[in-house]
A and B are shown apart, each in its own frame.
Chain A
């Protein structure tokens, strides 16, 4: 699809009013998605947007795409079924850090190794917001929350290192501190032919700590492009990703310069190759004839 001006950002905006708190970072994420989709120009009805459960998982409803707000932690398996059932669709998945890296943490590795062409956006706010402020898998060690009144005893998951280690072909980070950058990063992720991951540092204005608000994030933010990082260098990306929690690098950590054929494309090839072997359906029981 060529990037025509056929669609504008507002064409992807639904008339549902978000449940998010005023000032929530997720407002910027949905704006970024509208812009990215408009730039790509796919009509809303060809987009399937899947989420799990959490504040951020409400996001599909705020778009005019086909949305599916599923169950906690299971956006990715459902998104994969959709993409395999109809590879023509543009499939987006989104959710929070708890949804993606705690209850649904087991699914990411498998989507990455299959390399199905799905873009996954995690709105990482280091807290469970919908349930009102419990420790999340990306909360810093020592953090006090209502389930860690004496401070967390756990190390956080590093989402960037996690997906890089499993071999994701596209890994990026964005933040509402740079809305234009977020839109273009999401656009690039969608355009990448294969699984693409965008971690968005999206502040929770209600339960987040001071350092995780826009001002605090800006203070630790650094543009990967400005630093001269080569996104084709996976080891350099992993090195930089280790600073998750201290630094907030924005932009593309890694983009496989030679994207391998996606799983969904291979499925199509196989279907085309084997179609000639199909018995007519009404004769399928002939498979069981014993002479």
Chain B
């Protein structure tokens, strides 16, 4: 029996492999399991290769998993295109389409001997039972139910519900295909028992959603009433959610003519007094940078979501990367600090998004949420979230006496000035991208400019004291450490558990606040650290470099960085930690040698 199974399935676009993944995850969720599903595609609109990775577990799932336990290839050409995204190891059961004509001992996976390889006449079974090869994905679900014990009932319940509107015949055809898959599995038992343990959480309510929808829902919860944006993969679903729901809350959404107009409209809405948001991905972030500068100098609250994908330029539009940290922190000219937050999962996208609005509103600044393709489009089962524990912060409104002689950019002790909005009597002022005096009137004065820069930068200082925006786990005095954010944080959380189970004394820091760099929090964390890794999906190691720019890092802190798309595996991080430990031991031994 297994507590945890990782499935990786690939086929061509029309094979319905992603919808099979959806059905599997929903069925597992209905049966009380925890699960995560990620999707990966070629960039073709229809057809082309498509794949999904589904991890099902009896315990909460920290990431989409490392090596596959089960690989499903509807054809080898498409499967192989995903390379290290779907890694097969000696522990993997490989199931593939017999019609590919490839012999079981000749599958095209070089340098690996899977646990078991099974050719199944998937297409033929679909044709024979449902009358069409389009039921291939349902046969696969039947095989999974038969071999691994997930969804024997729940899968077809879900499919019936989905298809009931279409026709009863379709439901029956799918039932036959599913049964055929189950029967095949039962007739050909696996060499090792790989069925999953019964779940403890059966019957409990679970939520099932992805990072983009969660982000948009959290924004509406936080009081966002305006979204301006432009379609761009992989962030578009955020705008789509708004177009479905924001009207109900008295808000509006504008699908603008371009990325600049999208953020421009959001800046306008914020000036008008409403909480506003825009969302984009890399190329759009580049286009929006001038407006981000405007929001900073005009001290307007604004939340900008950047769902990172491979860059530069168009890069890898459908695959994840963490290479926008420099752009988020440093794009747009001038001396400016723009807070950057990053969620690490679908679940904490809720909290991170609310936090972004609270920071934007409280400090009157644009805030960037640096999500990534994996979190944005992966589906996760979640336990219900108690929304009452989240405080909502609104911008500081001027009091009656403020409005007697209103100064929009008044110097105050905490550098935060009451903010009025059009429609408010007594609060009229000129907002501008031009440097301004306290009233808002334009100025060319160097000394006013220095003072205002000081105000805009210093007002954010308290953010760096926010310990709650950092998650530190493991032994606080450990000599070994990991630092990771975004979707890579989930991999490191699992690596930490594995490493500690193997006796390594290690701790992990996951920053939700990436910028400004909270120097003291890092210094405290690094105090005990002799060796460590900053793990990130950025070829340039942007996180490592941003940290180094602000801090004297421990000598033994190294970068484990690579380009996006291919996930880090928990096992490789544990192996890297073992290596660091042996280096550490060697250097200690060296020190213990008596001096010649």
Contact = CB atoms under 8 A, between A and B. Distances in A.
A27 B273 CA distance: 31
B226 A81 contact: yes
A88 B298 CA distance: 23
A60 B432 CA distance: 10
A291 B30 contact: yes
B266 interface: yes
B30 to A, nearest CB: 7
A86 B275 CA distance: 12
A181 interface: no
B350 A285 contact: yes
B268 A290 contact: no
A74 interface: yes
Q: Which 4 A-B pairs have the closest CB atoms?
A: A81-B268, A77-B264, A81-B265, A278-B248
B249 A281 contact: yes
Interface of B: 26, 29-30, 205-209, 213-214, 217, 220-221, 223, 225-226, 228, 245, 247-252, 254, 256-258, 260-262, 264-274, 276, 290-291, 293-294, 298, 350, 382, 384-385, 387-388, 421-434, 441-442
Contact of A46 (B221, B261, B382, B422): B422
B209 A80 contact: no
B252 A290 contact: no
A274 B248 contact: yes
Interface string A55-66: 000101100111
5 contacts: A66-B422, A69-B433, A77-B261, A281-B387, A288-B208
Nearest to B241: A287
A74 B217 contact: no
Contacts of B290: 71
Contact of B274 (A50, A86, A281): A86
A67 interface: yes
A43 B424 CA distance: 11
Given A278-B249, A282-B387, A289 B207 contact: yes
A69 B273 contact: no
Contacts of A291: 30
Contacts of B387: 281-285
Contacts of A66: 421-422, 427-429, 431
Nearest to A269: B247
A277 interface: yes
Nearest to A52: B433
Contacts of A43: 425
B420 to A, nearest CB: 8
Contacts of B254: 80-81, 84
B273 A86 contact: yes
Given A284-B217, A290-B30, A81 B442 contact: no
B116 to A, nearest CB: 32
Nearest to B420: A66
A107 B423 CA distance: 26
A71 to B, nearest CB: 5
Contacts of A16: 430, 441-442
Contacts of B245: 278, 284, 287
Contacts of A106: 257-258
Contacts of B228: 77, 81
A70 B433 contact: yes
A60 to B, nearest CB: 6
Given A61-B442, A69-B432, A285-B350, A80 B265 contact: yes
A277 B425 contact: no
Contacts of B428: 44-45, 64-67
A68 interface: yes
B220 A281 contact: yes
Contacts of B276: 81, 85
Which bucket holds chain A's interface residue count?
Answer: 35 or more
Given A61-B432, A89-B422, A275-B248, 9 more contacts: A74-B291, A81-B226, A81-B228, A81-B254, A89-B423, A107-B261, A281-B221, A284-B387, A285-B217
A110 B225 contact: no
A46 B268 contact: no
Given A68-B432, A284-B220, A285-B385, A45 B425 contact: yes
Contacts of B294: 70-71
Contacts of A85: 225-226, 252, 268-270, 272-274, 276
Contacts of B424: 45
Interface string A138-176: 000000000000000000000000000000000000000
A79 interface: yes
A229 B264 CA distance: 38
B268 A79 contact: yes
Most central of B225, B264, B298, B425 by chain A CB within 10 Å: B264
A76 B268 CA distance: 10
B257 A107 contact: yes
Nearest to A290: B208
Nearest to B210: A288
A82 interface: yes
Contact of B265 (A48, A68, A77): A77
A78 B265 contact: yes
Contacts of B270: 81, 85
A61 B441 contact: yes
Contacts of B269: 81-82, 84-85
A270 B245 CA distance: 11
Contacts of A60: 430
A44 B30 CA distance: 58
B30 A267 contact: no
Contacts of A86: 272-274, 421-423
A240 to B, nearest CB: 29
B422 A48 contact: yes
B442 A45 contact: no
Nearest to B158: A290
A271 interface: yes
A83 B207 CA distance: 36
A274 B247 CA distance: 6
B430 A69 contact: yes
B250 A275 contact: yes
B213 A288 contact: yes
B431 A67 contact: yes
A85 B422 CA distance: 11
A125 to B, nearest CB: 21
Nearest to B225: A85
B384 A77 contact: no
Contacts of A83: 268
A247 to B, nearest CB: 32
B220 to A, nearest CB: 6
A290 B206 contact: yes
Given A61-B442, A68-B432, A80-B254, A88 B423 contact: yes
B263 to A, nearest CB: 8
Contacts of B421: 66, 86
A68 B226 contact: no
A285 B268 contact: no
Nearest to A270: B247
A71 B271 CA distance: 14
A260 B191 CA distance: 72
A88 B220 CA distance: 22
B384 to A, nearest CB: 7
A287 B206 CA distance: 11
